[in-house]
Structure 1
């Protein structure tokens, strides 16, 4: 049993090494990893899902593909309400990987001062709405930013705070 465990650990390490090498060679994945909360797995999944930005009209459609846009509820009286995100629709693996990265970003942000405008926005949102709502908002913003980066072919440059 112990040998099987050690062999499995070695296989996981080998796969992680191959993944890291693959991402180092890919320009789009390297650019996507510059986003807050996006690691190697998240970058690869973002590239797979959003790799051809022509599939979407805008960033909102890209976020909807991942399942990050709020669900609209219509009552019989014609009143429209906006609810939470739909966990049924969209790419759950990508959403989960980005959500974990967003939670890690929020945890880091609690331990150090804000350096960018996005971090100020995020810390204020955490104070108002809580960590999980803020994490979903950050994931939504991350997917929209990733869509724009892939479409325009630019590097991510966060807006730094004035010193």
Structure 2
């Protein structure tokens, strides 16, 4: 007899549903969202599980790895795909979700997603921390600019942080003590954030210099070390893609399609998949088309497309091609070829 299980994981509790190959419910239980408690419940039934499903989410990576260490055949399934299937149920609750996941495992109607490696998770944490610091820095700079406009002070266009800080200090010398102290507090926080960004940049640069794949990707025009590391962390295992052309769809750079009968409509890009990687590829494509001075086929194609469709659409199209090319570079271990 084959057995299947579905886990509906929340922050505090996990609902476990175990069924047999005929769909009959064998066991249902609520346990704490800890791998030890979940493994104890599953292994305590003394069953040979065919597959155990868990939806992709914030806890799914660590949960899958830890449960696999207990010898359980756990897989991570696409939350969007599973949500669409579970939406057919009348009542939405943890019990029904766990039952639905178990039934989907039994029927084989699921889409498995990759559980990211420890190396990829490590890089994603560093990149995510850097991204948040940069966002905070931009917000504080915008706040300072807005507050000083109350006194008619215009700081002008952006500059290096050291020059910008001196410009602020000169601008607030004649202000009252309360206003000056308030702006200085914001500048102090900016200095701390700037120092933290430098530390993370040093860590990421050191890590990238040790990684042959990242150094390989930086031979691509417009691609620096941060873009290369973001792309590699998103792809993780390049061999999991059957063809390089599917990478564009994975990152969300391919058009949506709606086809029914005589209707066949292609819309804007899907914007599915890793947001940060898509943004980085867009910036790299923009640098390739606007800043890079070399002449090669990809740039010529992008500029020709820009004249017909506009620069924004051309940048998106070049970003998709970059994703395909960079994936093939990782698979073949070859540098970018200027043609």
**Residue of structure 2 in register with 1:83 after alignment:** 267
Structure having the larger proportion of residues in strand: 2
Are 1:9 and 2:194 matched, yes or no? yes
Aligned match for 2:208, one of 23, 28, 34:
23
* Residue 251 (structure 2) pairs with residue 71 (structure 1): no
CA RMSD of aligned residues (A): 1.6
Aligned counterpart in structure 2 of residue 100 of structure 1, from 253, 271, 283: 283
Contact kept in structure 1, 2:298 and 2:318, CA below 8 Å: no
The 1-side partners of 2:192 and 2:287 are apart by: 29
Q: Does 1:128 align with 2:313?
A: no
Partner of 2:233: 48
CA contact (8 A) 1:51 1:150 kept: no
Q: Secondary structure at the match of 1:81?
A: strand
What SS does the aligned partner of 1:74 have?
strand
Greater shift in the superposed pair: 1-10 or 89-98: 1-10
Q: Work out the CA distance in 2 between the residues paired with 1:126 and 1:152.
A: 30
- TM-score w.r.t. length of structure 2: 0.43
Counterpart in 1 of 2:48? Answer: none
**Whole-angstrom CA distance in 2 between matches of 1:118 and 1:24:** 27
CA contact (8 A) 1:46 1:94 kept: yes
Where 2:257 maps in the other structure, the secondary structure is strand
Q: Confirm or deny: 8 A CA contact 2:219 2:336 kept in the other structure.
A: yes
CA distance in 2 between counterparts of 1:107 and 1:118 reads: 13
Distance 1:72 1:14 in 2: 44
1:144 maps to what in 2?
324
Q: Over residues 126-163 of structure 1, what are the superposed CA-to-partner deviations in whole Å (9 max), with x where a residue is unaligned?
A: 1111111011111100000011111111122221xxxx
Structure 2 residue runs without a partner (length 5+): 1-184
Partners of 1:154 and 1:39 in 2: CA distance: 17
- Highest CA radius of gyration, 1 or 2? 2
Higher normalized helix content (fraction of residues): 1
Between the two proteins, the alignment pairs up a number of residues equal to 154
Work out the CA distance in 1 between the residues paired with 2:290 and 2:299.
12
- Please list every run of 5 or more consecutive structure 1 residues that lacks an aligned counterpart in the other structure: none
